[in-house]
Amino acid sequence: MTVEPRGSLSPLDDYPVHQTAEPIRRVATSDRNFYDRYYFNCYPSDTTDLFLVVGLGQYPNLGVCDGFAVLRRGDDHIVVRASKALGRDRTDTSVGPLRIEVLEGLHRLRVVLEPGHPDTADLSFDLTFEGDVPATEEDPQKLRQLERVVMDTSRFVQSGTWSGSLTVDGRSRDVDPVVWRGNRDRSWGVRPVGEPEPAGRRAADGTPGFFWIYSVMQFGADTIVVIVQEDDAGRRLLEEAIRIRPDTDPEWLGRPEHELRFAPGTRTVTGATLSFHRPGQDPTVVECELLVANLLAIGTGYGLEPDWRHGMWQGDLVVQSLRRDTREIDPAMLMFCPTDHLARFHVEGTDVVGTGLFEVAVIGPHRRYGFTGFVDAHDSPATDTSAARPDRRGPTP
């Protein structure tokens, strides 16, 4: 016979993992915006026909657990999303038909979207991720507004391979780790989640913009991780450019710089150049060819849709699906959320080519690219600005 624990105790409290003088269910801050989240992406490296992104998060101070799977395939945008009341046991990383199993911590995880539910008829999978480089801690993100902590997060990143099966519209395909790759991250801390809060004085001070590049490039046994976060003037709030290998410490590649190219009349990024600058050395330059855009703003909780945001209370258990034709999605809806691109990366001056994630957001004003507000678009033709860059010869990553 199983006897339920009393009060706030949960099975995790039987392990010596406490970080505060509280049960594990009670996080160290009462900030409503505390979250704890998984993120995965998955793609076949030998084709450019689809890009899958999966996420699952817990929001202890909101009492919510939710998750999503979003597949971009051709012009199809297919979403399955689920939300439930967060239970006593935070090791229960499932919500409806979606679940995550930690098979070997920091190395191997299983991600499942069960078939058979009315809202998973279009998409289901049983996939296992295996890291090919060590899980690596990133620099934390910290941001205050009016003295209040807006962001205070930790995250680690890991690239790897996938195995298992993926079913779309009733057609199943084997996922072979020889060609199926991707990356994952785990992040936790404080960032805006759930229903919008009253703006108060922040409304008078104006809403700050958000410029963000996050790229995970897989070159065989090497992985390059690039992070750039800037304010509207271009001041760096966070930056990182490192190479991760299986048997050595991460290597700093230098200060990352960026050159984005936009589709005229939009903020849609069509291509990019990243360069890494180390003192006394020629820069290393990587051309980023954007292949498949997974539109995180549509239906997953990352966007501004009033009926579904991460951490928003939906009820004890709600499972939904939606399907959109990307050609019918208003580009203006994409101005307020990152887009995750499957990308091909070419190191200039070499034959080195990789694949992976290029995530980008240009939200609000950004002087460098001529944006002065939140809804103005890029009005210049998309051009190659490589001639304006310095000599780009440099070492192989």
Residue 389 has pLDDT above 70, yes or no: no
Of 166, 186, 168, the residue nearest 176 (C-alpha): 166
Contact 243, 261 (CB under 8 A): no
Average pLDDT (355-380) is 92
Of 215, 266, 296, the residue nearest 382 (C-alpha): 266
Q: Is residue 258 part of a domain?
A: yes
- The one-letter amino acid code at 84 reads K
pLDDT band at 396; cut points 50, 70, 90: very low
List residues bridging with 157 in a β-sheet: 136, 185
137-188, pLDDT tens digit by residue? 999 999 998 888 999 999 999 999 999 999 999 999 999 999 999 999 999 9
CA angle at 12 for the pair 8 and 17, rounded to the nearest 5°: 110
3 state DSSP class of 70: strand
Rounded CA separation 253/396 (Å): 11
β-pairing, 94-95 vs 317-325, is unpaired
10-40, pLDDT tens digit by residue? 888 999 999 999 999 999 999 999 999 999 9
Residue 394 has pLDDT above 50, yes or no: no
Residue 383 has pLDDT above 90, yes or no: no
Rounded CA separation 76/72 (Å): 6
The residues near 348 (Cβ < 8 Å, ≥ 6 apart) are 285, 286, 287, 392, 393, 394
Q: Is residue 3 part of a domain?
A: no
Phi, then psi, of 332 in degrees rounded to 5: -65, -25
Q: Is residue 21 part of a domain?
A: no
Q: Is residue 24 part of a domain?
A: no
Average pLDDT (238-245) is 97
Q: Is residue 185 part of a domain?
A: yes
pLDDT value for 1? 65
Range of the domain at 302: 33-190+208-388
Rounded CA separation 229/261 (Å): 17
Q: Is residue 300 part of a domain?
A: yes
* CATH number of the domain residue 240 falls in: 2.40.370.10
- The one-letter amino acid code at 286 reads V
Rounded CA separation 177/180 (Å): 5
Q: Is residue 6 part of a domain?
A: no
C-alpha separations of 91 from 13, 14, 112, 155, 280 in Å: 11, 12, 16, 19, 49
Q: And the tokens for 266?
A: 């939009």
Token pair 């998984």 is found at 38
Residue 42 has pLDDT above 50, yes or no: yes
- The one-letter amino acid code at 154 reads S
C-alpha separations of 320 from 78, 118, 170 in Å: 11, 9, 18
Rounded CA separation 350/245 (Å): 19
Rounded CA separation 389/253 (Å): 18
Of 55-64, 78-87, 250-259, 367-376, minimum mean pLDDT range: 367-376
Average pLDDT (203-210) is 84
The total number of structural domains in the chain stands at 1
Q: Is residue 364 part of a domain?
A: yes
What's the alpha-carbon Rg for the chain, to the nearest Å?
21
